[in-house]
């Protein structure tokens, strides 16, 4: 029987055989026997055995068996949420080109993407049959921003804002949400209407008919033209030319000028040059700051203060300047008084019902329906009593607020007030019949009284 030398590689993935020349020819049985002796059972090469038998070479080391290498699993990946596109096609194939914003806006808690972990590949075997575990694929290269977090392999937004994703120099995919958005040009058909839950900066104009909305802050470095802009926070706008069709709303607003527009602010409005033919409502004050700053035409309503260099115009254009309680508060006052009256009457009726049922109960003559009605009446009485108490407290606070505002409502002209200007303080009216210079209008003893204006004197004193 021929002799053979079998060697295994260090990793066990390769078995080689070398013939020893002892004068006897190699045989299939002999080769199989030595392989079995060496526990080689996987990946045996039949074609190599045939080669050795048919043409033995004693100087050659034959590869007689190879192991099965383990496979690598699939790499991890990021599966982004399918952000549904707006359906722009209606039954009549109408497309609103103003509603074409390409921003991806997400809410706090929104699931942005899912991380699919890498998988393990199929196992392999060394030539002796031992199993080698499959190899795991690569982890997905991902980096979350400050406004995102990972929970159970799901990337979640921590805030309302704009979804952003990019790849850095290391190949990592960065996923984040930002509450700031900047638009370099105009708001027009190229951008569509813009509604952003955060800080919005526009380096151009807002063209007629378009809508801009922001929650935290809005800055428009161009002109608002017959458009609608709304911000829950403060706003800064270069200028407003409304042509009678603009609506601007914010908390506080600063701008250079306002023409033919409707502006509503919950607190203060500060304008640098002029307010012309506009309708303004402010929760606190309206101030035109600049030298020769003018309010001319339209209606200005504020709670505490209206101030400008010039009120009205030489042409006698009707200009209404009113300070005092805002219509919203007046409506709330009327609503509370009405509700208190209704609840008081209902409470009186409920009390009568309860008293009658109590008399019947004392005689043990209440049937099941009357018992149920008695319980409901008691519950109604409790609710009405609580609501009446709360509404009376709210009414008292509102009356004190209105009373206090009477002593802190002023209309100031730092230069001149022209005839045609109507001065209103807490519904009391005053109409100048001739120009009045440097004047502060106050309410004293239920009458509007003009006082000399001095820039270095506090009007409240």
Q: What is the pLDDT of residue 272?
A: 97
The stretch 148-161 carries a mean pLDDT of 93
Looking at the fold, whether 166 and 50 belong to one and the same domain comes out as no
Q: Is residue 71 part of a domain?
A: no
**Pair 313, 423 in one domain:** yes
Confidence at residue 225, expressed as pLDDT on a 0 to 100 scale = 96
Alpha carbons 210 and 191: distance in angstroms, whole number? 10
Closest C-alpha to 132, from 11, 37, 41, 8: 11
- As for how many domains the chain has, the answer is 5
- Based on the domain organization, do 234 and 375 belong to the same domain? no
**pLDDT, tens only, 195-210:** 999 999 999 999 999 9
Q: How many CB atoms lie within 10 A of CB 258?
A: 31
> Among the listed ranges 66-80, 85-99, 166-180, which one has the minimum average pLDDT value?
85-99
450: in domain: yes
225 and 299: one domain?
A: no
Task: Supply the pTM of this predicted model.
Answer: 0.70
Return d(Cα 260, Cα 279) in angstroms, integer: 8
Please, what's the b/e burial string for 193-215 (b: 16 or more CB within 10 A of its CB; e: otherwise)? bbbbbbbbbbebbbbeebbbbbb
In this predicted structure, the answer to whether residue 405 has a pLDDT above a threshold of 90 is no
Q: How far apart are the first and last CA of the chain?
A: 126
Asked whether residue 161 is domain-assigned, the answer is yes
pLDDT digits (tens, 9 = 90+) for 241-298: 999 899 999 999 999 999 999 999 999 999 999 999 999 999 999 999 988 999 999 9
**Which domain CATH number covers 435?**
2.160.20.70
Quick one: pLDDT at residue 170?
84
Kindly report, residue by residue over 57-87, the tens digit of the pLDDT: 988 999 999 999 999 999 999 998 876 334 3
3-state secondary structure the chain: CCEEEEEECCCCCEEEEEEECCCCCCCHHHHHHHHHHCCCCCCECHHHHHHHHHCCCCCCEEEEEECECCCECCCCEEEECCCCCCCCCCCCCCCCCCCCCCCCEECCCCEEEEEECCCECCCEECCCCCEECCEECCCCCEEECCCEEEECCEEEECCCEEEEEEECCCCCEEEEEECEEEECCCECCCCCCEEECCEEEECCCECCCCEEEECCEEEEEEEEECCEEEECCEEEEEEEEEEEEEEEEECCEEEEEEEEEEEEECCEEEEEEEEEEEEEEECCEEEECCCCCEEEEEEEEECCEEEEEEECCCCCCCEEEEECCCHHHHHHHHHHHHHHHHHHHHHHHHHHHHHHHHHHHHCCCCCHHHHHHHHHHHHHHHHHHHHHHHHHHHHHHHHHHHHHHHCCCEEEEEEEECCCEEEEECCEEECCCCCEEEEEEEEECCEEEEEECCCCCCCCC
Burial of 347 per CB tally in 10 Å (0-12, 13-18, 19+): middle
- Residues 415, 320, single domain; the answer is yes
pLDDT of residue 365: 76
For residue 52, is it within any domain?
Answer: yes
* Tens digits of residue pLDDT in 431-459: 999 999 999 999 888 899 999 998 755 55
47 and 27 belong to one structural domain: yes
310 and 446 within one domain: yes
**Domain that residue 37 falls in:** 3-66
Q: Residue 224 in contact with residue 202, Cβ under 8 Å?
A: no
91 within domain boundaries: no
Same domain, 316 and 441: yes
Q: Look over the chain and give the mean of its residue pLDDT values, rounded to a whole number.
A: 89
- Phi then psi for residue 326, to 5 deg, are -70, 150
CB 321, CB 428: distance < 8 Å: no
Same domain, 314 and 451: yes
Does residue 385 lie in a domain region? yes
Q: What is the pLDDT of residue 91?
A: 41
Whether residue 414 is found in the same domain as residue 306: yes
Angle between helices 28-37 and 46-54 (to 10 degrees): 130
Residue 92 lies in a domain: no
pLDDT band, residue 361 (cuts 50/70/90): confident
Residues 313, 417 share a domain = yes
Shared-domain flag, residues 255 and 155: no
Asked if residue 72 belongs to a domain, the reply is no
Compute the distance between CA of residue 459 and CA of residue 461 in angstroms, rounded to an integer.
5
């Amino acid at each position: 029987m021929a002799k053979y030398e079998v060697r295994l590689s260090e990793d066990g993935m390769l078995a080689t055989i070398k013939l020893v020349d002892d004068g006897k020819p190699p045989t299939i049985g002999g080769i199989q026997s030595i392989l079995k002796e060496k526990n080689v059972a996987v990946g045996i090469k039949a074609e190599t055995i045939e080669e050795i038998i048919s043409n033995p070479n004693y100087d050659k080391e034959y590869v007689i068996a190879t192991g099965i290498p383990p496979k690598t699993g699939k790499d991890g990946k990021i599966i982004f949420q399918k952000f549904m596109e707006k359906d722009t096609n209606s039954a009549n194939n109408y497309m609103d080109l103003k509603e074409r914003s390409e921003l991806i806006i997400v809410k706090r808690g929104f699931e942005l993407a899912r991380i699919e972990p890498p998988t393990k590949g199929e196992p392999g075997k060394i030539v002796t049959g031992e199993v080698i575990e499959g190899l795991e694929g690569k982890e997905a290269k991902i980096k979350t921003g400050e406004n995102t977090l990972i929970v159970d392999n799901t990337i979640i937004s921590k805030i309302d804002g704009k979804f952003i994703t990019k790849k850095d120099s290391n190949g990592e995919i960065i996923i984040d949400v930002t509450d700031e958005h900047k638009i370099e040009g105009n708001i027009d058909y190229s951008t569509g209407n813009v509604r952003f839950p955060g800080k919005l900066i526009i380096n151009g104009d807002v063209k007629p008919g378009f809508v801009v909305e922001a929650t935290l802050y809005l800055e428009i470095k161009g002109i608002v033209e017959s458009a609608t802009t709304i911000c829950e926070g403060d706003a800064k706008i270069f200028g407003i030319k409304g042509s009678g069709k603009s609506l601007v709303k914010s908390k506080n607003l600063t701008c250079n000028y306002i023409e033919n527009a409707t502006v509503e602010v919950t607190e203060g409005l500060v304008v640098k040059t002029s307010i012309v033919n506009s309708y303004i409502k402010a929760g606190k004050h309206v101030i035109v700051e600049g030298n020769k700053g003018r309010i001319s035409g339209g209606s200005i309503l504020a709670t505490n203060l209206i101030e400008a260099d010039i009120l009205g115009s030489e042409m006698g254009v009707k200009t209404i300047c009113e300070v005092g309680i805002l219509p919203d508060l007046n409506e709330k006052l009327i609503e509370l008084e009405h509700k208190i009256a209704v609840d008081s009457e209902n409470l009186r009726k409920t009390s009568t019902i309860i008293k009658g049922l109590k008399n019947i109960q004392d005689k043990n003559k209440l049937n099941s329906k009357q018992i149920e009605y008695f319980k409901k009446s008691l519950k109604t009485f409790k609710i009405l009593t609580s609501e009446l108490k709360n509404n009376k407290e709210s009414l008292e606070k509102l009356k004190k607020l209105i009373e206090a505002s009477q002593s802190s409502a002023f209309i100031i002209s730092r230069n001149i007030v022209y005839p045609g200007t109507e001065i209103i303080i807490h519904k009391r009216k005053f109409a100048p019949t001739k120009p009045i210079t440097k004047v502060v209008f106050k309410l004293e003893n239920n009458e509007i009284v003009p006082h000399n204006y001095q820039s270095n004197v506090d009007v409240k004193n």
